[in-house]
A and B are shown apart, each in its own frame.
Chain A
Amino acid sequence: MSALLHPRYALLRQLATLAAVLAFWEYAGTQGWLNPLYMPRPSAIWLALRDLFLDGRIWPHMQATFTAALGGLVLGVLAGVVLGIVAALVRLLSELIEPVMLVLNAIPRVILAPLFIIWFGIGLGSKIALSFVLVAVVIFFNVFGAVKNVDRRLVERIVTLGGGRWALLRQVYLPSITASVLHNLKVAVGFAFTGAVVGEFVGASRGLGYLISFAQSTYNAALMIALVLLILAVVLVIFSLANQAEKRLMRWH
């Protein structure tokens, strides 16, 4: 018995507890202790999830959400990096860019979703735009900080070894920026999906966010929980990809 308390079996204990909770939940459902309208049984959630895949109707929605999230992520990272570098190096431009970013950072940026729908329609554009704004602001501040706080000793080292501007950029600035972006890639991925999904349930005809909003309007709690689990799984997969990218590119760390 005490062997099972070894730290090595932590995962086993966690899974056993989860199984017990699910079993009790299921049992409580069959006994009628829980109202299925609010709290459907795990088996019902499982069935809802399975159905989504069985008839294949989930794929276009997944595709829509992925396209929006990845589009927003890529564009947001690019814009954040470029604006961050420019603002950190060119004082006149930082006077313009920084206040805008500070304001965007201070407000809950998802409130822009309805505006984007007016501007870009209920299609892909408005979701990418929301994803983009969420990601770009986070990346901007990270890159801005990375460039501003670049290790002065490394800069002096390169200069005294005879390196010029290009060498400084290549040997000191770019690696510092890359490190900071990679460090925050997971946060950015989370924001990218938040943007896409929130955009979809404000107004869309496709996407996981749209399905959630559909489940809400039809009072389908099982479908809703199934979708939440699905998004969770998707984001976890992407997190692990981001983790691998970070490990590979930061092996000096």
Chain B
Amino acid sequence: MRVSNVSLSYGGEPVLEGASLRVGSGQFVSLVGPSGSGKSSLLRVAMGLQKPFAGSVDLERGKSDVGILFQDDALLPWRTARQNVSLGLRFRGMPKQEALRKADEWLARLGLEGLEDRYPRRLSGGQRKRVALAQVLALEPKLILMDEPFASLDAIVRTKIIQDVVHLVEQQKITVLLVTHDLEEAISLSDVVYLLSQGPRAKITQEYPIPIPRPRDLVRARLHPAYAPLLDKLWSDLSHEVEGNVNGHSAKAAA
């Protein structure tokens, strides 16, 4: 997929200005940046939920090949896990019984066997996240856009879920664009990491290829010799972004 020169403003406030990036087929790409820089906004443009002021996003795929994973679970509280997972399949015209059976398969694949009839309120945060994942993966997307989907989980659950996601994504050769504020997560998961500058008028300032081989193991990836220098570089570039902006503001204020 390709994001070309996207500019976006909220009520006259310029958020993004000329942001561009490329995600190669089958690649796992992360977008990091200071909070409030417009990472999520860029993703919302890609999702088609927001119209850019200028520029364009070419997903290079049909809409039905794109899956979206949100920060919150956003499951329908009045539908069971199975019904929630079957929703997208039903929208695509799959007969009900078949959709429910397929939903069960995906729930089992994500380790939720036996919880198919639970309502979201009766599931833990991690289990809900897995249901949301099953909901997206059941549609067998070629590209998944993720907006900090793991942010709300506690460390252990999070590591386990991420490991499962990496595994499934590698197995199904799915292209991923992940927005995250977690640099370690970005490096250990991705083939390429992009850095978005501090807003307003944020744009992509850096591109970091990650030379850690696949298949990835989340914990081992951190032991790879390339990991620590990359993290160090990413950290200092990000801090530079944030400080640079703070200084820029105070300079403006002084003037």
Residues of A within 8 A of B (CB): 151, 153-154, 156-164, 167, 171-172, 175, 179, 251-253
Contacts and interface: CB of A to CB of B under 8 A. Distances in A.
Given A153-B72, A161-B135, A252-B121, A175 B91 contact: no
Given A161-B88, A252-B120, 17 more contacts: A154-B76, A156-B49, A156-B70, A157-B70, A157-B75, A158-B87, A159-B49, A160-B49, A160-B68, A161-B91, A161-B135, A162-B139, A171-B87, A172-B76, A175-B78, A251-B119, A253-B121
Interface in B83-130: 87-88, 91-92, 119-121
Contacts of B77: 252-253
**Interface residues of B, dominant DSSP:** loop
Given A156-B74, A252-B77, A163 B87 contact: yes
Interface residues of B, number: 23
B231 interface: no
Interface of B: 47, 49, 63-64, 68, 70, 72, 74-80, 87-88, 91-92, 119-121, 135, 139
A153 B74 contact: yes
A247 to B, nearest CB: 14
A162 B70 contact: no
B76 A171 contact: yes
B73 to A, nearest CB: 9
B137 to A, nearest CB: 12
Contact of B64 (A162, A172, A252): A162
A252 B119 contact: yes
A164 B135 CA distance: 17
B91 A154 contact: no
